[in-house]
Amino acid sequence: MTNFTRDDAVAVAAALRLPTRPFINGAYRKTTGGKLLESVNPATGKAFAEIEACSISDVDAAVAAAKAAFTSGVWSAKHPAERKAVLLRFADLIRANLVELAVMESLDSGKPITDCLTVDVPATADSIAWHAEAQDKLFSRVSSTDKDTLGLIVREPLGVVGLVLPWNFPMLMAGWKVGPALATGNSVVLKPSQMTTLTALAMAELALEAGIPEGVFNVVTGSGAVGEALGLHPDVRIISFTGSTEVGKKFLDYSRLSNLKRIVLELGGKNPAVVLADAPNLDFVAEQQAFSILTNMGQNCASNSRLIVHKAVKEELVEKLVSVCKGWKLGDPLDPTTQLGPVIGENHCKSIERYLDKGKSEGARLACGGNRLDRDGYFIEATVFDRVTPEMTIYREEIFGPVLTIIEAQNDDHAIELANDTEYGLTASLYTTDVGKAHRLSRQINAGTVSVNCYSEGDMATPFGGFKQSGFGGRDNGLEAHEQYTEVKTVWMNLNAPSRS
């Protein structure tokens, strides 16, 4: 992809075949309600496609198709190695369509094209392949019994899996969930965010081409009402949701009010990066933390939006960070040199602007940025607020934009106390060159992933999810994701029943 230019991206965009209907039971289907969704390009603020939105009866049809496919055994009863082969083909087809999928994702979400080409699309394929590869290497267990008994502990797929997804990593979140859900034999009904529907629909078509049977991978289009219909549906056995804490909590109600379906929630974050006085090279720390808050325009549940810095190194680090942030190139997301594109939409942009105003009015020091750009689309400058205090709104609430807040710690204990002073607990970073401290303090931080001397979410092999109000009920990624989509069964056999004669 080294020679890929903006002109190439524009040419691919002009030639894209954009899906316009939900994908139900193996085909794009006409909806019954007549409602339309606009696909808006965040770089221009203009609609470039219209998609039919599902009615509740369309959702019912998708769930019925998924249930029928599951019950028939056409996928659920296949040998795991056969499912693996099909899923590996699916991953290969995603890779083969890299450029088209990347451009589609960039147009619909505003993500920089280079990120789509190097992260979103390839990591989606990698996730599906990883879970496919794992599936036929996982064994059931046998309990310890006497010689006349056999106790089997087996895992079985749940049935119809509902996936309700956010707009910030549309394809990648789909990949994180579809991979293990399909590898374990379930059927899926996926609801993308109404703001980023296109790539999920394109994935469903590729899944069919790869050999995933009709009805096993469905995509329903529409707003939160479609997510609610899935949440309340009596034939959906699990909802795996990624999105805000506020909406995620509603799924616990949907479950309670319907069929006690399993609920797994991957939610928001206000993640800390703790930088101690003995941190490694501060240029390195500044690069990493600028990346953490600016990548995907800060619209990342795992971004470190609270930088907690020991007073001995704070001034030096702030200076370096501001310089790195100013160097991030903002611009047209289809230009491969762009690092910072637009945020997702007008409402979200306004919400970030309100936080910028709050930061200024509540007395934080604006070290750089702080404004929306006066141009079409939804562009916000890379922003750093220094001298933030725990009482300030920008320190407490998830802004979900390119806005870093910096707070000074007096000593190590104070730094950890600040890190844990939040209702969230998704990820955290810790910078220290003292190996003892690295071990001790990483265990004291309440977060699902703590990265030491780097900014990282781990990789496909390590579970990802939140403590406290950042998560509930399970983990994405790693073998833990397989547990999310399976039920444990005990089979208890008497091997010595008396004969009838």
292 binds ligand NAP (CB under 6 A): no
Concatenated DSSP letters of 98-120: HHHHHHHHHHHH---HHHIIIII
Rounded distance between C-alpha atoms, residue 359 and residue 366, angstroms: 8
Rounded distance between C-alpha atoms, residue 248 and residue 440, angstroms: 32
Q: Site residues for Mg ion, window 311-340 (CB under 5 A)?
A: none
x/- letters, 95..134, toward Mg ion (CB under 5 A) = -------------x--------------------------
CB of 160 to ligand NAP, least distance (A): 16
Q: Of 105, 266, 398, 408, which one is the catalytic site residue?
A: 266
Per the annotation, the verdict on 246 as an active-site residue is no
Residue 251 near residue 265 (C-beta atoms within 8 A):
yes
Scanning the structure block, which residue is given the tokens 């039971």? 25
Residue 261 near residue 239 (C-beta atoms within 8 A):
yes
Residue 448 has a CB neighbour count (10 Å cut-off) of 23
- Residue 194 binding result from ligand NAP, Mg ion, none, given CB thresholds of 5 to 8 Å by partner type: ligand NAP
CB of 38 to Mg ion, least distance (A): 8
460 binds Mg ion (CB under 5 A): no
Per the annotation, the verdict on 454 as an active-site residue is no
Rounded distance between C-alpha atoms, residue 410 and residue 308, angstroms: 10
CB of 165 to ligand NAP, least distance (A): 5
- Residue 108 binding result from ligand NAP, Mg ion, none, given CB thresholds of 5 to 8 Å by partner type: Mg ion
Query: Which element (helix H / strand E) includes 204?
Result: helix 198-210
> According to CB under 5 A, which one of 9, 12, 24, 40 is a site residue for Mg ion?
40
Query: Which element (helix H / strand E) includes 471?
Result: strand 471-472
168 binds ligand NAP (CB under 6 A): yes
Q: Site residues for ligand NAP, window 442-481 (CB under 6 A)?
A: 466
Concatenated DSSP letters of 116-174: IIIIIHHHHHHHHHHHHHHHTT---EE----TTEEEEEEEEE-SEEEEE--SSSHHHHH
Residue type, 73: G
Which among 5-13, 130-138, 146-154, 241-249 is the span making contact with ligand NAP, rule CB under 6 A? 241-249
CB of 227 to ligand NAP, least distance (A): 2
Catalytic residues: 266, 301
Binding site for Mg ion (CB under 5 A): 40, 108, 195
Binding site for ligand NAP (CB under 6 A): 164-169, 191, 193-195, 223-224, 227-228, 231, 242-244, 247, 250, 266-269, 301, 398, 400, 426, 466
